[in-house]
């Protein structure tokens, strides 16, 4: 992510190439990875939309793998393993647009004032339960701060809606770099829910 526009324009192309490789030739020629290098990141999510409507959004918070592997994993999960949708077919893929969100490393939210809607995504953790919302959720669904946190608890982490207020619950904030097939990159460009743990192919979008 060097600000030149080269890396920004190629992350969605890389994700699409991974999907097409599986659909066309599972043992075909490897997809050429994007130029440039990201030395640290907090997670990756890939969002698919068809005619402007959500068609899949999955990702990982596992930063032990190289970024290219994380994008590959997120792309395949979003296209073929989002439990809310059937797998994307080759003919359908032409009507699908992609976004790749690369997350920053997360930090604790100290007070509600720390949360900036549209800029910050959230991770809610309590015991073995965890849920995540990308920054897009708040703006695209016109949520206030309390609703943003409550829905993440109930719809993503499987916790009571007000669990984010409890001392035993940790709320983390992060920002994103969103790379779209339009060839642009934005910081925390303002994706919606399921009850799984991010980092294992988890959805970051609310169900319609």
Overall average pLDDT of the 5-18 stretch: 73
Q: How far is CA 164 from CA 14, 27, 89, 159, in A?
A: 36, 46, 39, 9
Say how many CA atoms lie within 13 Å of 105 toward its Cβ: 5
* Domain CATH code at residue 141: 3.30.1490.150
Q: What is the C-alpha to C-alpha distance for residues 142 and 145, in angstroms, rounded to an integer?
A: 10
Q: What is the pTM of this model?
A: 0.80
Residue 63 lies in a domain: yes
Residue 207 lies in a domain: no
Q: Which of 171, 180, 184, 87 is CA-nearest to residue 133?
A: 171
Task: Say yes or no: 180 and 158 in one domain.
Answer: no
Per the structure, how many domains does the chain have? 2
Q: What is the C-alpha to C-alpha distance for residues 105 and 137, in angstroms, rounded to an integer?
A: 19
Residue 156 sits in which domain range? 107-174
Lowest mean pLDDT among 14-23, 93-102, 114-123, 182-191: 182-191
Residue 9 above 80 pLDDT?
no
Q: Which of 106, 135, 86 is CA-nearest to residue 43?
A: 106
Residue 193 lies in a domain: no
Task: Say yes or no: 100 and 113 in one domain.
Answer: no
Higher pLDDT, 7 or 121: 121
Confidence band, pLDDT 50/70/90 cuts, at residue 134: very high
Task: Say yes or no: 52 and 127 in one domain.
Answer: no
Task: Say yes or no: 50 and 153 in one domain.
Answer: no
Q: Which of 95, 74, 79 is CA-nearest to residue 179?
A: 74
Task: Say yes or no: 169 and 179 in one domain.
Answer: no
Q: Which residues contact 116 (CB under 8 A, 6 or more apart)?
A: none
Task: Say yes or no: 142 and 160 in one domain.
Answer: yes
């Amino acid at each position: 992510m060097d600000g030149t526009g080269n890396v920004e324009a190629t992350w969605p192309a890389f994700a699409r190439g991974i999907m097409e490789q599986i659909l066309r030739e599972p043992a075909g020629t490897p997809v050429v990875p994007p130029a440039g290098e990201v030395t640290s990141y907090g997670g990756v999510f890939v969002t698919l939309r068809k005619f402007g409507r959500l068609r899949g959004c999955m990702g990982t918070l596992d930063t032990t793998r190289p970024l290219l592997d994380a994008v590959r994993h997120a792309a395949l999960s979003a296209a073929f393993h989002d439990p809310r949708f059937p797998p994307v077919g080759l003919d359908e893929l032409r009507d699908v647009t992609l976004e790749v969100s690369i997350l920053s490393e997360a930090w604790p939210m100290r007070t509600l004032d720390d949360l900036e809607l549209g800029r910050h995504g959230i991770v809610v953790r309590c015991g073995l339960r965890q849920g995540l919302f990308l920054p897009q959720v708040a703006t695209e669904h016109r949520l206030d701060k309390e609703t943003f946190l409550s829905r993440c608890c109930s719809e993503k982490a499987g916790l009571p809606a007000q669990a984010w207020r409890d001392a035993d619950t940790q709320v983390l904030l992060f920002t994103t770099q969103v790379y779209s097939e339009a060839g642009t990159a934005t910081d925390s460009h303002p994706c919606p829910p399921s009850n799984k743990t991010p980092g294992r192919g988890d959805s970051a979008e609310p169900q319609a």
